[in-house]
Amino acid sequence: MSNTDISQNHSSGNAAVNNLPAPVTDWNIPHWGALAIITAFALPLFLELLGHGQATAMMELFNLVPIREAYRDGHWLIPTLGGMPRLEKPPLPVWLPAALAMLFHSDNLWVVRLPSVILGLATCWATYGIGCICSRDRRLGLFAAIALASMVVFIRQARMASYDIYGTAFTTLGFLGLLAAAEYPKRWWIWSGLGGVALGLAVLSKGPVPPMYVLLPFGFWLLWEHRKNSRCWFGILLALIVSIAVFSPWLIAVAIRYHSQYGGSAWHIWTRQFRRYVSVLPDTRWYYLAMIAWVFPWTPPLIAGLALPFLPAQSDPAPSAQERRTRWMFWIVLVVGLVLLTIPAQKKQRYALQNFPFAALLIAAVWQEFIRLKKNLALEPPAKFLLAAQSIMYVGAGSLILILIPMVMMAHHPSPNFVGHWTLMQAASLLKPGLAALTPVGWGLVAIIVIALGVILWRWEFSRQFDRAFWVYAAAGWLFMLAMNWAYMDGNGYQVSRYRAQTRQMMSVVRGHRIYTLMGDRMWLGVLYYADQILPMKTPDQLLSIAAHSPYRIYILTRDQDPFRQQVNNIARQTHRKIRIIDRINDGHFIQTLFELMPRS
């Protein structure tokens, strides 16, 4: 990824000139050194208490159950949930953790979450690569990767065995390949091929829709800047062919095996899901604005980054033509991507994850402008406001922690006057698990260090030592996120599953016998996961056949209400078995009842 390979296209969209001299680099660092810095910064945030606690997030459990069934029961070609094929999601986020579980002979949380950590780090590396391609200053790539690695929502997703970090990592790597194919006149076909492989893996990770939130805006930019560059469009075509070659074999295998059962392939199921999600008029009032909170603690520079492409450059050296063009690319991919994300009716943080690298690149461009700011140029009021906001945010966060610590301690016996009213005291009581995890002394030290870094940040920003100020900003964010991770993962109030103890007790009652569940009665995922075995879903007719031919006890877990209770009673009556209730478990939605059908006398 040498700077000497970068060719600067004219903003009118003409093809790249092959023999341009290499641009002067403002700040040079070996790529291996930059990647080492990114790794050292990101891994503590991603690995801290990774396997600690218990899985409680619904979307992670949707993946953890199929991982366990692939690893323990050999359901590899088609991931399963409760023994039934789960074609709503692609298989790669199941295959990789299950394969690692086989390697380590364990499927504990640390093992199955580790691929997410690796892919989170790969996303940061790919973001660095995009920044290097787009700028003559490698700081852009390094700053963007550092910002991405410490965003609160990105950290959370990089620590979970969910589908979204897989799709984001491979989408970003695919984007890197396509961008390099468009910007590099040499070896473009290699970059296109690698980009196609990554995009094919992105489809196998999260389906075709999430990559489109990045690739469609990128296509608009290519039409703007590279419409006459035939090499660029040949590269896009090559990447498309390669990506189809990567993801289509699995889709074909599924269609051949399950077409008669499902009336369509996995692709048809995905398209039906998408049509269902967009059938309701979406509510877009807050989704556009939510991104500025999701990138915390980098909120102030992102707000500035959204305005950056529209502002006149006041830096020395001024941004190159390539830098100006690619800043618009970051803006288009982020903003148009968010607009496209408002089409589905459902609105969740993780749906925007593939757009986070471009938010980080905009943030890095803001810091790059400050570092290059002309020495004799006075700071304008908006710039002063931004710099002050960055420092005040950390001073305020640290001060709030110091204020809340005694309130959390007092909230152990809240006054009855607070009941029914949302007060600061009640809000403080929610922080008790985090206080227990780090102790008041630990949180106090964190708060004092964050305040001190905020003061140093103020001093260095307004003395125009912006290069140092960035690293102070990053250090404060790193410490803050590290403390939040520790409190979140170690605090019992956050990470104790309400299903684990009840499920383990239920499994001990049946002494290793198989428990069946009724088709149509949705088992809560925590019950399926903590049962440590498949709870097969069966239709009433299938259970009737099993009960008629088996001489042993039959256990059925379902709700003790019609129509499910009536179906179990019918099975017992038709097979002349006595029926009794031997256990109940609260799955968070319903009381699930364990019925025992006694052997025939």
> What amino acid is encoded at 194 in this protein?
L
pLDDT at 298: 96
pLDDT at 124: 98
pLDDT at 324: 92
**CA–CA gap between residue 214 and residue 217 (Å, rounded):** 6
pLDDT at 277: 60
Report yes or no on 12 lying in a domain: no
pLDDT at 91: 93
Tokens encoding 476: 């404060």
pLDDT at 525: 85
Paired with 592 in beta bridges are 559, 585
Averaged pLDDT, 236-259: 88
Q: How many CB atoms lie within 10 A of CB 496?
A: 13
Averaged pLDDT, 418-423: 48
Same structural domain, 455 and 310 = no
pLDDT at 270: 67
Element counts in the chain: helices (H) and strands (E): 24, 7
Write the CB contacts of 336 (distance below 8 Å, at least 6 apart in sequence).
Answer: 216, 217, 220
Residue that has been written with the tokens 């001990």 in this structure: 508
Mapping DSSP to helix (H, G, I), strand (E, B) and coil, where does residue 581 land?
strand
Same structural domain, 485 and 581 = no
Write the CB contacts of 100 (distance below 8 Å, at least 6 apart in sequence).
Answer: 111, 112, 114, 115
Cis? peptide before 297, omega within 30° of 0: yes
Instruction: Give backbone dihedrals phi and psi of 594, rounded to 5 degrees, phi first.
Output: -95, 110
DSSP one-letter code for 600: P
Same structural domain, 319 and 183 = yes
Can you list the alpha helix ranges (DSSP code H) found in 463-511?
466-490, 492-495, 500-510
In whole angstroms, how far apart are CA 132 and each of 35, 141, 183?
12, 5, 11
Q: Are 558 and 580 in contact (CB under 8 A)?
A: no
Report yes or no on 13 lying in a domain: no
pLDDT at 22: 39
Report yes or no on 6 lying in a domain: no
Averaged pLDDT, 570-593: 88
pLDDT, one tens digit per residue, over 478-527 is 999 998 888 776 554 455 677 888 888 888 889 888 899 988 887 788 88
Average pLDDT value for the chain: 85
What would the 3-class secondary structure string for 225-284 be?
HCCCCHHHHHHHHHHHHHHHHHHHHHHHHHHHHHHHHHCCCHHHHHHHHHHHHCCCCCCC
Q: Specify the higher pLDDT residue, 260 or 310.
A: 310
DSSP one-letter code for 373: B
Count structural domains, the chain. 3
- The residue among 316, 345, 370 that closes a domain is 370
**CA–CA gap between residue 384 and residue 373 (Å, rounded):** 13
| For residue 368, pLDDT beyond 80 | yes
**CA–CA gap between residue 364 and residue 57 (Å, rounded):** 32
Same structural domain, 478 and 564 = no
| For residue 4, pLDDT beyond 60 | no
Same structural domain, 191 and 130 = yes
Q: Give the strand pairing for 84-85 and 80-81.
A: antiparallel
Q: Are 60 and 160 in contact (CB under 8 A)?
A: yes
Same structural domain, 351 and 476 = no
Whole-structure pTM value: 0.88
Residue that has been written with the tokens 């889709």 in this structure: 251
Same structural domain, 46 and 180 = yes
Write the CB contacts of 185 (distance below 8 Å, at least 6 apart in sequence).
Answer: 7, 16, 18, 231
- The residue among 479, 495, 511 that closes a domain is 495
**Backbone region of residue 187 per phi and psi (left: phi > 0; alpha: psi in -120 to 50; beta: other values):** left
Tokens encoding 156: 């959370």
Same structural domain, 271 and 314 = yes
pLDDT, one tens digit per residue, over 65-99 is 999 999 988 888 888 888 888 888 899 999 999 99
pLDDT at 499: 80
pLDDT at 259: 61
DSSP one-letter code for 484: H
Confidence tier at 49 by pLDDT (50, 70, 90): confident
Lowest mean pLDDT among 99-103, 272-276, 405-409: 272-276
pLDDT at 267: 66
Report yes or no on 310 lying in a domain: yes
Report yes or no on 2 lying in a domain: no
Burial of 123 (0-12, 13-18, 19+ CB in 10 A): buried
| For residue 291, pLDDT beyond 60 | yes
Same structural domain, 332 and 387 = no
Q: Count the helix, strand and coil residues of the chain and give each as a percent rounded to the nearest 5.
A: 65, 5, 30
Report yes or no on 429 lying in a domain: yes
Cis? peptide before 317, omega within 30° of 0: yes
Cis? peptide before 563, omega within 30° of 0: yes
**CA–CA gap between residue 409 and residue 402 (Å, rounded):** 12
Confidence tier at 421 by pLDDT (50, 70, 90): very low
Averaged pLDDT, 37-55: 90
Q: Specify the higher pLDDT residue, 425 or 223.
A: 223
Q: Are 557 and 515 in contact (CB under 8 A)?
A: yes
- The residue among 348, 370, 392 that closes a domain is 370
Write the CB contacts of 338 (distance below 8 Å, at least 6 apart in sequence).
Answer: 287, 288, 291, 352, 355
Same structural domain, 275 and 148 = yes
Same structural domain, 204 and 93 = yes
> What amino acid is encoded at 252 in this protein?
I
Write the CB contacts of 545 (distance below 8 Å, at least 6 apart in sequence).
Answer: none
Q: Return the closest-CA partner of residue 78 out of 259, 299, 240.
A: 259
Report yes or no on 5 lying in a domain: no
Report yes or no on 15 lying in a domain: no
pLDDT at 17: 35
**CA–CA gap between residue 82 and residue 531 (Å, rounded):** 11
**CA–CA gap between residue 168 and residue 206 (Å, rounded):** 9
Averaged pLDDT, 232-237: 90
pLDDT, one tens digit per residue, over 98-130 is 999 999 999 899 999 999 999 999 999 999 999
**CA–CA gap between residue 468 and residue 542 (Å, rounded):** 68
> What amino acid is encoded at 430 in this protein?
L
Query: What is the domain extent for residue 33?
Result: 27-370
Same structural domain, 386 and 525 = no
Tokens encoding 12: 């009118």
Instruction: Write the CATH number for 544.
Output: 3.40.190
pLDDT, one tens digit per residue, over 216-225 is 999 999 998 8
Q: Are 557 and 523 in contact (CB under 8 A)?
A: yes
Paired with 315 in beta bridges are 373
